[in-house]
Structure 1
């Protein structure tokens, strides 16, 4: 590989594969590109880089989908397997990333190095450029951003000879780029979020049908308990696609006693399906003799306790600023925001507990959401949880001393960190701060007596961090909740210098 082909160059090439705001708007307006070509196109890309579908079976895949909790579940499975089989190479492919795109492709929990990423990137890129013959006329020369990263992950894991691959679906299931592995070892579906029905414009049955599309003939299928209409479709899909078995998992009493490494009550359900996925996988590989599902093996418990997943209900003490603590949660749905606020309102987290030294406390909310999502409804969820906790609506006026609505742009000069670049936001929206002004208006309509001078609309994450540093007072405990977007959380980790302690 030429020395001039650096990691930064690979990231620039990768970013060129992103769809811009205009393209995404056109896709939404048309109801989405026809899905019937999604898998054939992905298979064509796979062939162009030198692989056949059956080659992917060597990855020993645990395939996981769902509308919420699939990332956390993948992290739990990863940690369980690392603790149970410490000699194995455990591959983990997830999305999105917080700070560096390499986070999406991990081995034994560690993102692949910049050197490995760059080498594997260009091996895939060059093959796609060289092998430009396309059987399907609608297939573009280069795949889109997520498709390319999926191909890159397959290639990297095969080259590194991983013993197992935990493969998180990007979107949906049936037509997702990851759904080209002919024979995964086990498949699983985490919770189907009700609010995705309105956001995606699909019924719960349609969403369930999509998720169930990862089931494969002769492969065990597992799901958490779902709403009845969704559960019915998932069960039908398991039969239709001839899964070898179908099991619905519920948290056991034993699991309730394990101090999970990920915070929040909602993680118990994710841990439950993770345990079943890991157990089924190990048994399927003949690597695990314990068939007693009433017991939780010691290594499983250790794995659950040790699980880390940055940006999800995560507490990070600022390494420089005294008495300043960051509470990071990329919650971006109504249900995940509800869980986020329940966590933040827990004594000892965002609320002072009886055992803590009682210093004056300031709370700041840093928030953003994707264009197209209902910011008003999101902010109502936040304030409804606060109002319920205080039991008096007037007290919610003083819960957050200040609120900051900023874009996901990383730096004050208008540029993104390379790995955090996004073309999904129109230049016009960024310049006019459309979403952020809408959020500020919504906040004031929900809390009309809230001081306008304490509501800030800022053009970048760096602007937000600088504002917080200006008002920080070492004699006061400052608690900052960052929520609404994983891209926002990642930018805060980068700009606030939290990477070494947060990732």
Structure 2
């Protein structure tokens, strides 16, 4: 195994710098660190074909997001001071940007971005923004120009993260921009090595071509997206934060590049990086506020935590020189929102709660177009889309139509099975708050005449307390059940790992402790429902189809899939075996 030798007296800096920041080859000596994720194929990247498949192989060799977030866990030895890894994030990302051949000046000169942060609803707001900018009237499309969208995570294909005019970029374009970034980082490292005295660092020359001289997964894809947007002539970009805002990789966007920002609904998540309270988390999310720009958020009503959180958002906006636009629930409810297209296309955004996300998207889209119209006066053909008041009752008809066609896979998604009498209701909710919304949506769907019989639950959550979440889901179903009949009772519940396929011969057994605990929690809450445990999604889907076919009696069975976006992604891949990666 090749090794890297770095100069440092602080092992935590050594690890974090290698995993999170550029590899400064001029500092190499004294300490050794094995590169455990060095993929053999990437050692010979210079001779491999620049194909989409090889790009995926290289991507898989990069340090994972989960490995990076684990660095924020408290040290096992309490006497060891914890480094402020957040403080290193933006300087490191800027360094990676330079190594990839990009600059903030280039971004500022070519892109105008809406930056979206928050805990829940980020993906929906991005979907609505993309629809508003690509499906608006002629004037909107002319001023918005080509529209890029960068979101995460993906469900079926990594190309979902980088879209142009609402469609994932092609395999060829992904490979092209992937290798532009990969090769630029390689050449930057090689230039540093060349500056050293002859022979020094020769033992790592092979590693320069591999993942050890590249940023971790999310940072790398962020740079690929920006490079693709510049290369494809994108004018308007919708950019979703990964985690937080202030220190998120996407926050290297210069202030002049951002036309508007959004902070969606807040919740407790990623506490190691963002804090354990809503006010602490709000501080990070509001990092997307930019001087002289508007930031749209949902007004927080009430006292206590809500009031403290609202105060943090207002203070942060003031510190940043931004204008915080707080959209009141009563105004959204008076407006009523826009229902998804009745055509039922895959990924149509359903759910009553979406009207709040729609309102934020409408405000940010209007502001974005207003800023662009001032920069491109010769193309100003917007009419009511920009000149109308911000009030929701003045939402133009072109916006109303566009909102109907927003698409986001795996969120309140309904699809009919082609191979069994099943209606799949799919949502990747993975927090208590988001599962409450799923319960409301599910109760509404199953109360309709088309959904008869007792449904099936397919559930998993590998990283959080799955037992607690499934118990909360059952309570929410009871609380949101329409009429006197009570909550829909699951005929069966399947608890599965997120692994796509069964174990291969010789592969060790998979840990099912999480699934067993969740099943026990359901049985304690509802002794009527039978349960089963599966170690892969393919078998779980097959079991659901078998049960639905056996018990259909001419009706379609509803299967609720929820608890994890990873589970949802594996289910969609199973239901769409011919879908392109």
TM-score over 0.5 for the pair: yes
CA spacing shift, 1:411–1:228, aligned 2, 3 Å: same
User: RMSD of the TM alignment (CA)?
Assistant: 3.0
Looking at structure 1, the residues matched to 88 and 192 of structure 2 have their Cα atoms a distance apart, in angstroms, of 13
Alignment of 1:433-452 (within 5 A): 433-447=512-526, 449-450=527-528
> How far apart, in 1, do the equivalents of 2:355 and 2:578 lie?
27
Q: Are 1:490 and 2:490 an aligned pair?
A: no
Shift, 1:195, TM fit:
6.8
1:232 is paired with a residue of what secondary structure?
A: helix
- Alignment pair present for 1:378 and 2:429: no
Contact 2:456/2:558 (CA < 8 Å) preserved in 1?
yes
Q: Is the 8 A contact 1:54 1:181 kept in 2?
A: no
Displacement, 1:292? Answer: 1.9
Partner of 1:388: 479
Where do residues 76-475 of structure 1 align in structure 2 (5 Å cutoff)?
76-84=128-136, 85-87=140-142, 88-132=145-189, 141-183=213-255, 184-193=258-267, 201-226=275-300, 227-243=306-322, 245-250=323-328, 251-252=331-332, 255-256=335-336, 258-260=338-340, 262-286=349-373, 287=380, 288=382, 289-294=386-391, 295-321=394-420, 323-346=421-444, 349-353=445-449, 356=450, 361-371=453-463, 373-389=464-480, 399-413=489-503, 431-447=510-526, 449-450=527-528, 454-473=530-549, 474=552, 475=554
2:462–2:497: 8 Å Cα contact kept in structure 1?
no
Question: Do the aligned residues in 2 keep the contact of 1:197 with 1:204 (CA within 8 Å)?
Answer: no
C-alpha displacement of 1:389: 4.4
C-alpha separation between the residues in 2 aligned to 1:441 and 1:23?
32
Write the distance in 2 (CA, Å) between the matches of 1:20 and 1:117.
20
Q: Distance in 2 between matches of 1:12 and 1:336?
A: 33
Unpaired runs of 5+ residues, structure 1, are 416-426
Aligned residues of 2:186 and 2:213 also touching (Cα < 8 A): yes
Q: Secondary structure in 1 aligned to 2:528? A: coil
Inter-partner Cα distance in structure 2 for 1:236 and 1:34: 24
Query: How far apart, CA to CA, are the structure 1 residues paired with 2:442 and 2:188?
Result: 51
1:369–1:125: structure 2 CA closer, same or farther, 3 Å change rule? same
1:5 aligned to 2:46?
Answer: no
Deviations 1:310-356 (A, max 9, x none): 111111011232x311101001111110000100001xx22343xx4
Aligned residues: 474
Answer yes or no: is the 8 Å Cα contact 2:499–2:537 preserved in 1: yes
- The 1:388–1:223 alpha-carbon spacing in structure 2 relative to 1, beyond 3 Å, is closer
**Deviation readout 1:195-227 (Å, 9 max, x if unpaired):** 777996522121111011111222222222132
Asked whether the 8 Å contact 1:363–1:478 carries over to 2, the reply is: yes
Question: What residue is the counterpart of 2:126 in the other structure?
Answer: 74
Residues 208 and 233 in structure 1, CA contact (< 8 A), matched pair in contact too: yes
Q: Which has the larger radius of gyration?
A: 2
Whole-Å Cα distance in 2 between the matches of residues 381 and 484 of structure 1?
11
Q: Does the 8 Å CA contact 1:329/1:482 hold for their aligned counterparts?
A: yes
Q: What TM-score do the two structures reach when normalised by structure 2?
A: 0.76
Residues of 2 paired with 1:483 and 1:248: CA distance?
31
Partner of 2:38: none
Provide, for residues 124-175 of structure 1, a one-character-per-residue CA deviation record: whole Å limited to 9, x for no partner.
Answer: 011111111679xxx9621111111101100000000112000000000000
Residue 51 (structure 1) aligned with residue 102 (structure 2): yes
Q: Deviation at 1:469?
A: 2.3
Instruction: For residue 432 of structure 1, give the secondary structure of its aligned residue in structure 2.
Output: coil
| 1:239–1:21 CA distance, 2 compared to 1 (3 A) | closer
- Aligned residue for 1:258, secondary structure, equals coil
Alpha-carbon deviation of 1:390? 5.2
Are the equivalent residues in 2 in contact too, given 1:408–1:460 (CA < 8 A)?
yes
| Alpha-carbon distance in 2 for matches of 1:197, 1:362 | 37
Structure 1's 33 and 455: CA in aligned 2 closer, same or farther, altered over 3 A? farther
Counterpart of 2:325 in 1: which secondary structure?
strand
Taking CA–CA contacts closer than 8 Å with sequence separation of 6 or more, which of the two structures ends up with the larger relative contact order? Answer: 1
Where 1:173 maps in the other structure, the secondary structure is coil
Q: Find the aligned partners of 2:272 and 2:560 in 1 and give their Cα distance.
A: 26
Distance 1:56 1:382 in 2: 44
Q: Cα 1:198–1:467, aligned 2, differ >3 Å: closer, same or farther?
A: same
* 3-state DSSP of counterpart to 1:102: helix
SS at match of 1:179: helix
Normalised to the residue count of structure 1, the TM-score between the two structures is 0.87
- Secondary structure of 1:306's counterpart equals coil
Range moving further from structure 2, 70-79 or 377-386: 377-386
2-structure distance, mates of 1:406, 1:469: 15
Aligned residues of 1:195 and 1:334 also touching (Cα < 8 A):
no
